[in-house]
Each structure stands twice: as C-alpha cells, then as structure tokens.
C-alpha cells in the first residue's frame, strides 16, 4: 500500500497533469487524500442512510464558516420516496435522482435575518443584492462541507443544480417561503461503484500569483489530457454544430452555453422577494 503522500501526489497528478510536492510529514494527510480524490457518485446501493448519521452530517455541514455569523443557509432533507420520485420525474435525463435514498436541497435563506430584525424591533435597510449573494455563498459553503463530510464516511454525493430549471415547482413542492430559494439539490447514497477522478484545468490557468493573469494557453492540452481518461460519450447537438473529430471539454462547454440556459432564474429570484439591485 503506497503512503498517503504518494496517493495524494497520484490523485493530483491525474487531476491537474502536474507533479506536486507533498511533504510526508504534514498532519491531516488522510483528509487531504480524500479531498484530492474527490469524485461525484451517480450510482447508489439500495441501502438507507440512518437518520442519526444524516443528522451528524447536517451538523458538520452547518459548522462551516458563515458570513458575519449570519447563518443564512438551511438544508432540506427529503426521504419520502414519492417526493424523490416527483423530483426525478421532472429530470428524466438524470436517472440517478430516482435511485438516491436521500435527496437534499440546499437553501439560501435571506428571510431569517430581516425577520430577526423585526423581532428585535429594528429597521432592515439592507434588502438589496448583498442579501441574496451572502445567503447564496453561505449555502454553497454548507453544501460543499456536507459533501466533504459525507465522503469521509464513505457516502457518495452528486449536487443537482438542474432543479433550478424547475425552481418554481421545487419551491411549491417544499413550501419555500419568500426569500428562501434552492441553490442546488444533492443526491446522497452509498456508492454502487468506485467512480473516477475528473481532470481539471491546469493550475497555471486557475491559480494567479499576486495579480490576475489570464491564460488560455493550456486549455488545448487540458482538452487532450481530459479526453485520455474521461472522454465524452456523446457530442452535443451534432445536427447544429457538426461532428468534431476530436471533442474535448472546451468544445463541449462552448456548445453547452451556445443556448440560453435558465434565463428565467432572475425572474424567479425576484418573484421570491429578493431585490437584485
């Protein structure tokens, strides 16, 4: 069995195409190894997750840092098979939703803070974009922390942002009040397969030293590196864009965003009472 430093090095080399130095004397290498080897899981065993374990994972997730300690993120836990089926039926292109024993919805809660102000008899002159932004950022951090904690106990997760294609329906389904919106759902289950590491853009593309330095020079090499281990099975809309001899990440993402996606989300957020100015 290779030591943890070697395992981390191998995972990050597969991810970024770069050999990173890992000091074998660092503490917390087991946690770093788990983070480095992250992968989403989209196939689950027909095995439940004990309510006590879910409660523990929610508690850990909500231990995440929170902007000004405002605590504007909530987690909605869905176990009811009928409700999970109803969500899955909205999204037939994602059959893993129907398989999940637990479905979570991570909520940006911009409601609690103004309500607290009211209870404390204070004005709330902060009903603007920052309320939406702070609550959304907090909810994203809580979601990530949930995923990390769940992976630590051997669970597999897959965030599901496409529930926002049906934001109004989801909102109604779970009785979300004004200023409470879903940022993403999440499938959580015991993995039915190991899954694999998805390569990311090189660190020279996404890590900036001292000042921002835009760099597209390594995108093509990334397309090639990624295709070597995670080739796309299908090309998007070949009837519109033609069939590419080589089909990499950049072509896929450019095609994906060549059509309007979720253009009505701003209207939904405003209708839920957030002011985006």
Ligand X SMILES: Cc1cc2nc3c(=O)[nH]c(=O)nc-3n(C[C@H](O)[C@H](O)[C@H](O)COP(=O)(O)O)c2cc1C
Name the segment binding ligand X (CB under 6 A); options: 64-72, 156-164, 174-182, 207-215: 156-164
Bridge partners of 106, per DSSP, are 75, 184
Residue from 13, 66, 71, 198 in contact with ligand X (CB under 6 A): 198
Name the segment binding ligand X (CB under 6 A); options: 4-12, 21-29, 155-163, 263-271: 155-163
Q: Is residue 161 a contact point for ligand X (CB under 6 A)? A: yes
Cα four-point dihedral sign 129, 182, 235, 188: positive
Nearer to ligand X, 113 or 143 (CB): 143
- Structural contact between residues 185 and 159, judged by C-beta atoms closer than 8 angstroms: yes
Residue from 88, 160, 180, 269 in contact with ligand X (CB under 6 A): 160
* Residue 8: Cβ within 10 Å count: 23
Least Cβ distance, residue 39 to ligand X (angstroms)? 4
Nearer to ligand X, 114 or 182 (CB): 182
Q: Is residue 168 a contact point for ligand X (CB under 6 A)? A: no
Contacts of 62 (CB under 8 A, 6+ apart): 71, 73, 75, 142, 145
Q: Which helix (H) or strand (E) holds 103?
A: strand 102-109
Which residue number has the CB closest to ligand X? 161
Indicate left, alpha or beta for 182 from its phi (over 0: left) and psi (-120 to 50: alpha). beta
Write each residue from 94 to 133 as x if it is in contact with ligand X (CB under 6 A), else as -, in one continuous string. Answer: x---------------------------------------
Nearer to ligand X, 87 or 113 (CB): 87
Q: Which of residues 59-98 bind ligand X (CB under 6 A)?
A: 94
Q: Token match 């300690």: residue?
A: 69
Nearer to ligand X, 198 or 235 (CB): 198
Least Cβ distance, residue 112 to ligand X (angstroms)? 22
How many Cα atoms sit within 13 Å of 21 on the Cβ side?
2
Name the segment binding ligand X (CB under 6 A); options: 37-45, 167-175, 232-240, 241-249: 37-45
Least Cβ distance, residue 159 to ligand X (angstroms)? 4
Residue 254 and residue 198: Cα distance in Å, rounded? 18
Bridge partners of 123, per DSSP, are none
Q: How many residues bind ligand X (CB under 6 A)?
A: 11
Residue 61 and residue 64: Cα distance in Å, rounded? 6
According to DSSP, residue 186 is labeled E
Task: Please name which of 40, 57, 150 lies closest in space to residue 94, comparing C-alpha atoms.
Answer: 40
Nearer to ligand X, 159 or 189 (CB): 159
How many Cα atoms sit within 13 Å of 74 on the Cβ side?
16
Q: Is residue 35 a contact point for ligand X (CB under 6 A)? A: no
Q: Is residue 166 a contact point for ligand X (CB under 6 A)? A: no
Q: What does the binding site for ligand X look like in residue numbers (CB under 6 A)?
A: 38-40, 94, 158-162, 184, 198
């Amino acid at each position: 069995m290779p030591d943890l430093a070697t395992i981390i090095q191998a995972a990050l080399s597969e991810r970024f195409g770069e050999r990173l130095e890992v000091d074998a004397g660092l503490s917390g290498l087991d946690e770093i190894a788990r983070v480095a080897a992250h992968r989403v899981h989209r196939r689950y065993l027909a095995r439940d997750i004990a309510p006590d374990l879910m409660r523990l994972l929610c508690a850990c997730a909500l231990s995440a840092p929170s902007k000004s300690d405002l605590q504007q993120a909530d987690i909605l836990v869905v176990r009811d098979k009928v409700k999970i089926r109803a969500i899955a039926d909205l999204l037939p292109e994602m059959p893993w939703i129907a398989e999940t024993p637990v479905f979570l919805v991570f909520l940006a809660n911009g409601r609690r803070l103004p309500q607290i102000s009211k209870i404390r008899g204070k004005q709330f002159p902060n009903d603007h974009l920052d309320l939406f932004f702070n609550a959304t950022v907090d909810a994203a951090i809580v979601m990530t922390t949930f995923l990390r904690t769940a992976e630590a106990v051997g669970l597999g997760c897959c965030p599901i942002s496409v529930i926002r294609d049906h934001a109004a329906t989801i909102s109604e389904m779970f009785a979300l009040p004004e200023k409470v919106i879903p940022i993403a759902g999440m499938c959580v289950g015991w993995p039915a397969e190991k899954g694999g590491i998805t390569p990311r853009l090189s660190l020279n593309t996404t890590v900036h030293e001292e000042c921002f330095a835009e760099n597209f020079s390594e995108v093509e090499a990334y397309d090639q590196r990624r295709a070597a281990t995670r080739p796309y099975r299908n090309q998007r809309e070949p009837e519109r864009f033609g069939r590419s001899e080589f089909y990499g990440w950049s072509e896929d993402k450019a095609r994906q965003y060549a059509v309007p996606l979720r253009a009505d989300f701003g209207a939904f957020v405003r209708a839920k009472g957030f002011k985006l100015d």
